[in-house]
Amino acid sequence: MTLLGKGVDSSHHQNEDCNNNNNNNNSGHNSGHNGHRVLTLYVRAGCDNKKYGACPFCQRIFMVLMLKAASCPLKFKVATVPKSGLPDEFKEHGIRNLPAIIHGNEAIDTVEEIIDYIESEFPEPCLDVDNPVVDRLTRNFFSKFCYYIKAVSKDASGLEMELKRLDDYLRKNDYRFLAGNSLSHLDCEILPKLHHMRVAALKLKRFEFPTQCSGIWRYLNNAYNNEFFQKSCPPDQEIILHWADRPDTPNLSYEEHSILTRNTPRFSFDVPAIAMPVNLK
């Protein structure tokens, strides 16, 4: 399956294989200057080792590429990588981690370096924000979630404290997103993590975001109504399996695991009624 430029269809990566086609293999899929070549984003495959899987870091890069492609001559495709092994082009370029990109002769497999490369090659639109307050508020909540779901932390108090700090800021924020009315690099990083937390913590730990966290719910609601988040978001089942299949997280029964792999993809894009639309400036 190939997703090119602006023509990204959310149904494609949810329901079709993300394999390279014959015209887009290796160096043959890129010609000319890097700015005119097709960039390939490699992401984790889902439970069937073919469809789009769940990884907040992969979704982050996917969102950034879609935002860039909507405003500049960037063409890209998304290819899934199964657990069974890395594609030949990884070995050729000496990369081994996901997400990864290959763009002409450039091959990068660390998230921050991928972001830096995309910004250098496709500077428009600018997604950078300089907001030390937001950066500080969002620095620790995902690690607290990881400690909690891995049972390193026996209770959710640390996670709840970080969520409250973020919610306090978002309640006072008049924008749709963290630092403005359009998605930024910060949003592309934070929103996939928040959504993973929402879905996985409920299923594996019976932990729900408190209804009174109206700022967080409003923020999520704005994401759920944004096409770039929608199109890049994996189904609930893939998110749950992503965390349940880790050796240090709560296990699912064989029956639960089997049901998740067979069910029709579901997306938790609903929010409590308290998440009212924001009045924009």
What is the pLDDT confidence band of residue 277, given thresholds at 50, 70 and 90? low
Is 13 inside any structural domain? no
pLDDT greater at residue 276 or residue 270: 270
pLDDT digits (tens, 9 = 90+) for 171-225: 999 999 999 999 999 999 999 999 999 999 999 999 999 999 999 999 999 999 9
Rounded CA separation 90/97 (Å)? 9
Write the CA distances from 180 to 93, 100, 128, 130, integer angstroms. Answer: 38, 28, 11, 11
Same domain (yes/no): 230, 152: yes
Same domain (yes/no): 176, 195: yes
pLDDT digits (tens, 9 = 90+) for 103-117: 999 999 999 999 999
Is 14 inside any structural domain? no
Is 178 inside any structural domain? yes
Regarding pTM above 0.75, the answer is yes
> Taking each helix axis from N to C terminus, what angle separates 254-262 and 236-244, rounded to the nearest 10 degrees?
150
The type of residue at 115 is: I
> Which residue bears the tokens 């090119």?
4
Least confident of 19-33, 88-102, 174-188, 216-230: 19-33
Same domain (yes/no): 96, 217: no
What average pLDDT score do residues 252-256 get? 90
Q: How does 92-125 read in b/e, with b if 16+ C-beta sit within 10 Å?
A: ebebeebbbbbbbeebbbebeebbebbbebbeee
* pLDDT at site 150: 87
* pLDDT at site 250: 86
* pLDDT at site 130: 86
Is 201 inside any structural domain? yes
Provide the residue range defining the domain that includes 149.
132-262
What is the pLDDT confidence band of residue 1, given thresholds at 50, 70 and 90? very low
Comparing CA positions, the residue from 78, 4, 21 lying closest to residue 44 is 78
Where residue 82 sits, what CATH number does that domain have? Answer: 3.40.30.10
* pLDDT at site 178: 95
pLDDT greater at residue 76 or residue 153: 76
Q: How many domains does the chain have?
A: 2
Neighbouring C-beta atoms of residue 66, cutoff 10 Å? 23
The yes-or-no verdict on residue 4 having pLDDT over 80 is: no
The yes-or-no verdict on residue 85 having pLDDT over 80 is: yes
> Which residue bears the tokens 């899934």?
80
Same domain (yes/no): 147, 257: yes
How many residues would you count in the chain?
Answer: 281
Work out the percent of the chain whose per-residue pLDDT is above 70. Answer: 84
Work out the percent of the chain whose per-residue pLDDT is above 90. Answer: 69
What average pLDDT score do residues 104-131 get? 95
pLDDT greater at residue 32 or residue 263: 263
pLDDT digits (tens, 9 = 90+) for 228-251: 999 999 999 999 999 999 888 888
